[in-house]
């Protein structure tokens, strides 16, 4: 029986496909766009446009990289504020051209650093939360590996949030949680249990809408075509359903989805 | 002669149940003498209170509760509390959380980490929320998120501005993802309030970090900060551990944020009430 912490470790497996792999397997004619038009180009975030079958979609992914060189280039998948602003810029373009948005999330968290703070990491995340809530086009976010706190949420205010069966999505990493509460990072497994951070837990709590089953646990290569083919089909189906709603209804549903999280019936004014 | 230790610690003297000093006990207050932890001046409780809970000599800021903060800004008797009495439950069954909630209620004298309501400032009506550092370090769980969201929805319906005073360590771990998602939930309500053309003023106090900083604290039309408040997404200790080097002096303090362009102004505590009144006036506030 796999523990919750086993899944956290699987979510961090070096061999797992990254956001870039998903993009190249899901769409054709992909054109990557760079920069936030404010300060720089954050390589931790890949953003661009591609064809999902015959539907043009905007794709935004947090990339961890494969080899050492790539990993350093994309800062191990921890984005600076420029990354979130680059994502938002592409989302606003998607809204303008009526393209659905697919966000692919795999991050231990937004980057903790001097420059990131000085350029407003918190402000960049906050702006994404506000803007994504009212973005006038369908948004689907998929957590493919790590869903690390605010850095993940900044791309996960969506009509639907999906998770891979071995991904995790958490308010805090189990190690930090164990350190803060029990001053002992060795109790990470206990913290993982307490945090309820697996796809199954979060589906039950209505934090996510769908679990994407991983082929034979984490041996992606064997059944690549089937895995990505199914995912593409599911995405297309959901996009069509979301596009059939008028925009007001789409936004109302999105707002209500978050509005009911932790709703307390005793709060009335 | 060393007088230190003969007097009660200033912070302790100012603590206690929120409304204990209102009305009665004035004579007792005058007799209290204690020293400022910063400049060591001898202070009276009344003197400090009249100086909006800062030291009249050196401007040292005493810790104040969410409720005192609201009363400090509100016209006399204008505070009408909303959603009082809502309490959190251990919604994901997190270990030791029940006890922590009990301790926090005792320590703060509040049911939860945010106090919300309606007030008037200079007779101009507005909604206000004020977070309490004594309630699990102002952390945001589902009740805090729900109360602030409901306040923004109420303010939108009533066409009222919102003033928010933040102090927080971020999202509350003990409620897992449900607390993280409060960042999105509150942001949605802020956005609707904003799209309705209404004013939202944030005043960040020491400390405002994590998921609160990365959501509604940074979403104000006007963002103010108390002097020298720690404001940031990641805590300085975490950054120091990550980078393994000393952080620059004044890093993540209000003054640094002003320089980087993330706050509109730094406002001394003694000037805040008047400042807020002026902002309401400039945004079409009409005396009731």
Cβ of B219 within 8 Å of Cβ of A157? The answer is: no
The shortest CB-CB distance from B219 to any of A117, A126, A202 is to A126
Per-residue pLDDT reduced to its tens digit, B256-273: 999 999 999 999 999 999
Per-residue pLDDT reduced to its tens digit, A141-186: 999 999 999 999 999 999 999 999 999 999 999 999 999 999 998 9
Per-residue pLDDT reduced to its tens digit, B72-124: 999 999 999 999 989 999 999 999 999 999 999 999 999 999 999 999 999 99
Number of independent structural domains in chain A:
1
**Domain shared by B34 and B70, yes or no:** no
**Domain, as residue range, for B2:** 1-63
Q: Is residue A263 part of a domain?
A: no
**Domain shared by B5 and B39, yes or no:** yes
Task: Give residue A268's pLDDT.
Answer: 75
Q: Is residue A124 part of a domain?
A: yes
Cβ of A205 within 8 Å of Cβ of B178? The answer is: yes
SS3 content of chain B, % helix, strand, coil (to 5): 40, 20, 40
**Domain shared by B150 and B255, yes or no:** yes
**Domain shared by B46 and B133, yes or no:** no
**Domain shared by B52 and B83, yes or no:** no
Task: Give residue B108's pLDDT.
Answer: 95
Q: Is residue A28 part of a domain?
A: yes
In the listed set B18, B40, B63, which residue is the last one of a domain according to the structure? B63
Query: In terms of CA atoms, which chain A residue is nearest residue B95?
Result: A194
Query: In terms of CA atoms, which chain A residue is nearest residue B88?
Result: A264
Per-residue pLDDT reduced to its tens digit, B26-49: 444 455 788 888 899 998 888 888
CA distances B4 to B15, B33, B54, B230, Å, are: 20, 12, 20, 29
Q: With bands split at pLDDT 50, 70 and 90, how would you rate the model's confidence at A45?
A: very high
**Domain shared by B230 and B139, yes or no:** yes
Residues of A in contact with B216 (CB under 8 A): 126
Name A226's Cβ contacts closer than 8 Å, sequence gap at least 6. Answer: A215
Nearest to A156 by CA among A61, A78, A77, A253: A61
**Domain shared by B219 and B237, yes or no:** yes
Least confident range of A130-134, A212-216, A245-249, B131-135: A212-216
The shortest CB-CB distance from B219 to any of A130, A259, A268 is to A130
**Domain shared by B181 and B93, yes or no:** yes
Q: Is residue B189 part of a domain?
A: yes
Task: Give residue A219's pLDDT.
Answer: 60
Task: Give residue B18's pLDDT.
Answer: 37
Residues of A in contact with B238 (CB under 8 A): 112
Q: Is residue B288 part of a domain?
A: no
Per-residue pLDDT reduced to its tens digit, B162-204: 999 999 999 999 999 999 999 999 999 999 999 999 999 999 9
In the listed set B44, B63, B82, which residue is the last one of a domain according to the structure? B63
**Domain shared by B252 and B179, yes or no:** yes
ipTM exceeds 0.85 = yes
Distance from CA of B95 to the nearest CA of A (A): 7
Q: Average per-residue pLDDT in chain B? A: 89
Q: With bands split at pLDDT 50, 70 and 90, how would you rate the model's confidence at B2?
A: very low
Q: Is residue A51 part of a domain?
A: yes
3-state secondary structure of B252: coil
CATH number (domain holding residue A21)? 3.90.226.10
Q: CA–CA separation, B42 vs B33, rounded Å? A: 6
Cβ of A130 within 8 Å of Cβ of B211? The answer is: no
CATH number (domain holding residue B176)? 3.90.226.10
Average pLDDT, stretch B6-17?
Answer: 44
Q: Is residue B287 part of a domain?
A: no
Q: CA–CA separation, A82 vs A23, rounded Å? A: 21
Average pLDDT, stretch A103-132?
Answer: 97
Q: Is residue B78 part of a domain?
A: yes
Please give the residue that has the higher pLDDT: either B57 or A33: A33
Please give the residue that has the higher pLDDT: either A109 or A14: A109
Scanning B42-81 for CB atoms below 8 A from A yields none
Q: Is residue A104 part of a domain?
A: yes
**Domain shared by B26 and B138, yes or no:** no
Q: Is residue A267 part of a domain?
A: no
The shortest CB-CB distance from B173 to any of A169, A177, A268 is to A177
In the listed set B22, B44, B63, which residue is the last one of a domain according to the structure? B63
Task: Give residue A37's pLDDT.
Answer: 96
Task: Give residue A247's pLDDT.
Answer: 97
Hey, is the C-beta of B258 within 8 angstroms of any chain A C-beta? no
Name A224's Cβ contacts closer than 8 Å, sequence gap at least 6. Answer: A25
Buried b (16+ CB within 10 A) or exposed e, B69-92: bbbbbbbeebbeebbeebebeebb
**Domain shared by B69 and B191, yes or no:** yes
Residues of B in contact with A118 (CB under 8 A): 256, 260
**Domain shared by B142 and B116, yes or no:** yes
Q: Average per-residue pLDDT in chain A? A: 94
Q: With bands split at pLDDT 50, 70 and 90, how would you rate the model's confidence at A225?
A: confident
Number of independent structural domains in chain B:
2
Residues of A in contact with B173 (CB under 8 A): 171-172, 177, 180-181, 195
Per-residue pLDDT reduced to its tens digit, B218-256: 999 999 999 999 999 999 988 998 888 899 999 999 999
**Domain, as residue range, for A138:** 4-258
């Amino acid at each position: 029986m796999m523990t919750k912490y086993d899944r956290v470790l699987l979510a961090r497996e070096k061999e797992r496909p990254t956001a870039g792999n998903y993009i190249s397997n899901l769409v054709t004619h992909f054109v990557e766009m760079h920069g936030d038009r404010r300060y720089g180009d954050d390589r931790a975030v890949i953003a661009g446009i591609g064809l999902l079958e015959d539907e043009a979609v905007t794709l935004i992914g947090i990339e961890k990289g494969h080899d050492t060189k790539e990993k350093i280039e994309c800062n191990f998948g921890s984005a600076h504020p420029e990354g979130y602003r680059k994502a938002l810029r592409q989302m606003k373009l998607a809204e303008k051209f009526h393209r659905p948005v697919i966000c692919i999330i795999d991050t231990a968290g937004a980057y903790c650093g001097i420059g990131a703070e000085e350029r407003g990491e918190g402000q960049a995340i906050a702006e994404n939360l506000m803007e994504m809530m009212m973005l006038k086009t369908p948004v689907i976010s998929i957590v493919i590996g790590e869903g690390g706190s605010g850095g993940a949420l900044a791309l996960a205010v969506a009509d639907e949030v999906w998770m891979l069966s071995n991904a995790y999505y958490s308010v805090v990493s189990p190690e930090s949680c164990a350190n803060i509460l029990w001053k002992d990072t060795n109790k990470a497994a206990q913290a993982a249990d307490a945090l309820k951070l697996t796809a199954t837990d979060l589906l039950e709590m209505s934090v996510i809408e769908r679990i994407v089953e991983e082929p034979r646990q984490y041996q992606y290569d064997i059944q690549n075509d089937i895995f990505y083919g199914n995912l593409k089909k599911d995405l297309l189906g959901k996009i069509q359903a979301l596009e059939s709603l008028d925009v007001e209804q789409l936004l109302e549903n999105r707002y209500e989805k978050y509005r009911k999280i932790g709703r307390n019936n005793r709060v009335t004014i | 002669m060393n007088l230190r230790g003969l007097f009660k610690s200033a912070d302790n003297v100012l603590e206690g149940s929120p409304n204990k000093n209102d009305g009665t006990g004035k004579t007792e207050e005058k007799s209290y003498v204690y020293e400022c932890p910063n400049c060591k001046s001898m202070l009276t409780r009344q003197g400090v209170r009249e100086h909006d809970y800062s030291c009249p000599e050196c401007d040292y800021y005493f810790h104040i509760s969410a409720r005192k903060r609201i009363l400090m800004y509100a016209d006399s008797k204008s505070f009408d509390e909303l959603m009082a009495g809502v309490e959190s439950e251990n919604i994901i069954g997190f270990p030791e959380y029940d006890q922590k909630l009990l301790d926090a209620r005792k320590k703060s004298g509040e049911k939860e980490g945010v106090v919300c309501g309606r007030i008037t400032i200079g007779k101009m009506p507005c909604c206000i929320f004020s977070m309490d550092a004594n309630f699990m370090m102002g952390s945001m769980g589902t009740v805090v998120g729900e109360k602030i969201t409901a306040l923004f929805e109420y303010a939108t319906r009533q066409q009222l501005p919102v003033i928010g005073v933040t102090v927080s360590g971020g999202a509350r771990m003990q409620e897992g993802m449900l607390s993280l998602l409060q960042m999105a939930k509150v942001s949605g309500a802020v956005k609707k309030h904003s799209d309705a053309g209404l004013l939202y003023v944030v005043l960040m106090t020491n400390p405002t970090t994590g998921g609160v900083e990365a959501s509604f604290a940074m979403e104000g039309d006007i963002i103010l900060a108390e002097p020298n408040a720690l404001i940031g997404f990641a805590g300085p200790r975490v950054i120091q551990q990550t980078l393994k080097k000393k952080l620059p002096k004044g890093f993540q303090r209000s003054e640094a944020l002003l320089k980087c362009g993330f706050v509109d102004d730094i406002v001394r505590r003694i000037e805040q009430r008047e400042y807020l009144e002026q902002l309401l006036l400039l945004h079409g506030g009409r005396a009731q």
